[in-house]
Structure 1
Amino acid sequence: MGTQKMATYIAVRGLLLLCLLVFIIPAKALKCHSCLGTLKECKLKEVTCPGRNDTCGSSLMMVKSFPIKDDTVTKGCFSSKIPHRSISLSPSAIVKLTLEEKTCDTDLCNNETIQVSEAKENDLNCYSCISSGKDCNSETMSNLKCRGKQDKCLDIWVLGNLSKH
């Protein structure tokens, strides 16, 4: 066999081996804990992430509106890594909405329980008014102390009826 033919033969074998590795032998898929439920009732199960889901994640959404406290935990496979994210919104002194999210990229890394701690008051004060059918004015506005990382006041208007009918 000539030198040219030998080089071609080695190149073709190398290409076939590369195709075998890339297309036939599957890549190791990420495994994550998965659940959807409340903090108390979320039962973890192990799942293998499909397709391009290359990140495990956990999120906790909490709604507090005295006397109600509701939470939802979501764990599973995510399609992109996001840094630890924490969002907190307090439209009144008795209503608080919180979202905590964390991601990681190793097998079964999302096993921790996300906690939301009560943050201390900070130096920001915002005005708050939740009104049904009345205008928000200086008489109906209340001063609301912001807590923890809350660093912005937000103005939200909802027009229309929020009832089911």
Structure 2
Amino acid sequence: MKMAGWLSVLLLCASISPVVSLICNTCSGLPYDCQESTQICTVTQTNCMSQSFTVVSENGSVTEWTYKGCTQGLVCNETIYTDLGYRRTYISSTCCTTDLCNDNTYYARVPLSTLFCESCEGNNVSCAASNVTSLQCAGVQDRCMTVQTVYVNVSSSNVVYKGCGTGNLCGRQLYYNTGGPRVYTEVSCCGNKYCNHGVKAVTVNETLNGIQCYACNETGKGECTAPINKTVSCMGNMTSCLDTVGFPRGNTLMRGCCSSDVCYGLSASMSLQASQKLYCCQGNLCNSGNIASYFKSGSTSAQRSVFLIGGALLVLMKDLWTLL
């Protein structure tokens, strides 16, 4: 190669800047005493996040917690409030995009509200009665909320919760099937005083949609270890396959079919812990346990069809679901 050619190559290499990852503070603890260290984010994690929650019990005791770290921006600048009378939960998050910018003390936001809703914990019969409890909402809870879950297997059971919430939880459909009882959870909301009267029927669509997924529930007996041979036929709006993985060991804890709302972060109905992550993929038997294959660079659909839920959101949403 001529000298001019070598010079062009050298100039080209010098002009290419390496990818510089964001650096964030990371910690998990009390808002006023969160012992911070630093974390180098992955290329896709473009935000530093602070996320806090406050839980107020019926006896007036207050529990507060803060999480800081890197995030892809999926849970930035959100506020969630729920109240069933015996406990109120306030969750909020904030994000920034420069190195170590999440260094301030951060508390969940707790504004005021004057909305009144029906409050109940029972089933579709007891929570549709006229003797339910009255509840004054707190914070910016601007919706009366009803959360109803139907479990379908050989027989069916129904669980209903009523209380206060915010609009970003409304209309969610959390359906999944891992080979045991099929679970259908729906969240309905309205914005007027005591408007969550009665109980609407959950949409249970058991029509096969042509998709099959690997299925298992790990109980400590190796149900989710290789060889993978158990499958389930997906129904209705369960159009994705899921794989719930425990970290840092990376062992699968649950596989099956699910609806898209489960993939987008409202996997709280599955009681995921902070040390667990949920992956979704689309296509027959795509949840084979090879997590790297969910993100194959050669697949044009992989980035559109796979969603990774951050552990911090899961632990907060699990606590939220307990309250709902």
Q: TM-score, normalised by structure 2?
A: 0.40
RMSD: 2.8
SS state of the match for residue 17, structure 1? Answer: helix
Give 2:144's aligned residue: 153
Is 1:116–2:105 an aligned residue pair? Answer: no
How many pairs does the alignment contain? 147
The counterpart of 2:67, out of the listed 47, 54, 74, is 74
Following TM superposition, where does structure 1 have runs of at least 4 consecutive aligned residues deviating by more than 4 angstroms?
A: none
Q: TM-score, normalised by structure 1?
A: 0.72
Is 1:85–2:78 an aligned residue pair? Answer: yes
2: distance between equivalents of 1:15 and 1:64?
A: 63
2: distance between equivalents of 1:52 and 1:118?
A: 31
Give 1:18's aligned residue: 12
- Compare relative contact order (CA 8 Å, sep 6+) and give the higher one, 1 or 2: 1
Deviation of residue 58 (structure 1)?
A: 0.8
Deviation of residue 35 (structure 1)?
A: 0.5
Q: Aligned in 2, Cα 1:48/1:138: closer, same or farther, shift over 3 Å? A: same
Amino acid at match of 1:108: L
**Structure 1 runs not aligned, ≥5 long:** 161-165
2: distance between equivalents of 1:76 and 1:54?
A: 11
**Structure 2 runs not aligned, ≥5 long:** 150-157, 160-324
Contact 1:125/1:144 (8 A) holds in 2: yes
Amino acid at match of 2:140: K
The counterpart of 1:105, out of the listed 82, 97, 102, is 97
Greater CA drift, 46-55 or 106-115: 46-55
Give 1:163's aligned residue: none
Is 1:144–2:135 an aligned residue pair? Answer: yes
Contact 1:81/1:104 (8 A) holds in 2: no
SS state of the match for residue 144, structure 2? Answer: coil
Q: Aligned in 2, Cα 1:130/1:82: closer, same or farther, shift over 3 Å? A: closer
Deviation of residue 40 (structure 1)?
A: 4.8
Contact 2:25/2:36 (8 A) holds in 1: yes
Task: State which structure, 1 or 2, has the greater radius of gyration over its C-alpha atoms.
Answer: 1
The counterpart of 2:35, out of the listed 38, 43, 54, is 43
Q: Aligned in 2, Cα 1:30/1:118: closer, same or farther, shift over 3 Å? A: closer
Identity of aligned residues (%): 27
SS state of the match for residue 32, structure 1? Answer: strand
